[in-house]
Amino acid sequence: MYKVRLKEKYISEVVPKMKEDFGYTNIMSVPKITKIVVNVGLGRIIRDSKDDLKKIATDVENIVGQKPVVTKAKKAISNFKTRIGMPVGLTVTLRGAKMYEFLDRLTSVALPQIRDFRGLSKKSFDKNGNYNIGLKEHIIFPEVGKDDIKTIFGMEININTTAKTDEEAYGLLKNIGLPIVDKINR
């Protein structure tokens, strides 16, 4: 097993800081990240050709380091032009070392590639201590070959934590290095 830089930072820096800030007496009560779920909605991309599905799946696999699962429509909805069994998205659940590696690449390499990036919004927490990030373009990741891109797609990244409140989750993700700001001036 190889060393993961972000996990070492969590153990050596974040846990003592969280114990000091929130008054935890036990190390096991300190919140931690349990999983990261990456979702890609295919929408009208998939209606054009089936080759795009394979290309998008390989791009997602290169970005996250794990093969995505194709999610299929459970109902036929005529307004969205979907039929039962039609592919409508891709999803990947990351845990363990791959999760920390992806989060490290996201914070240190991909997010600074966003044009006019001023930080992530603090309003993206749900009430259970989880954080959601929406990206409009997948080309911010260096793993994607920029010369052979046919379609640009967005993705949603859900960071699930064991924090009970949004304040605890904010402290955890801020100490890990996620660039979350209070107010974004646009």
With beta carbons less than 8 A apart as the criterion, state whether 70 and 53 touch. Answer: yes
Q: Mean of the pLDDT values across residues 106-126?
A: 86
With beta carbons less than 8 A apart as the criterion, state whether 68 and 52 touch. Answer: no
Q: To which residue do tokens 């996250």 refer? A: 64
Percent of the chain with pLDDT over 70: 91
Q: Mean of the pLDDT values across residues 64-77?
A: 87
What is the rounded CA–CA span in Å between residue 128 and residue 156?
A: 18
What is the rounded CA–CA span in Å between residue 129 and residue 111?
A: 21
What is the rounded CA–CA span in Å between residue 183 and residue 123?
A: 9
Percent of the chain with pLDDT over 90: 34
For 71-108, write each residue's pLDDT tens digit.
888 888 777 777 787 888 899 999 999 999 999 989 88
For 3-52, write each residue's pLDDT tens digit.
688 889 989 999 999 999 999 898 899 999 999 999 998 876 766 666 67
Mean pLDDT of the chain: 85
- Nearest-10 Cα torsion for 85, 87, 88, 91: 110
pTM: 0.88
Structure tokens at 163: 């924090």
pLDDT value for 1: 43
pLDDT value for 92: 95
Distance between terminal CA atoms of the chain? 43
Question: CB neighbours (10 Å) of residue 105?
Answer: 18
Q: At the fourth CATH level, which superfamily is domain 5-179?
A: Ribosomal protein L5 (3.30.1440.10)
pLDDT value for 49: 64
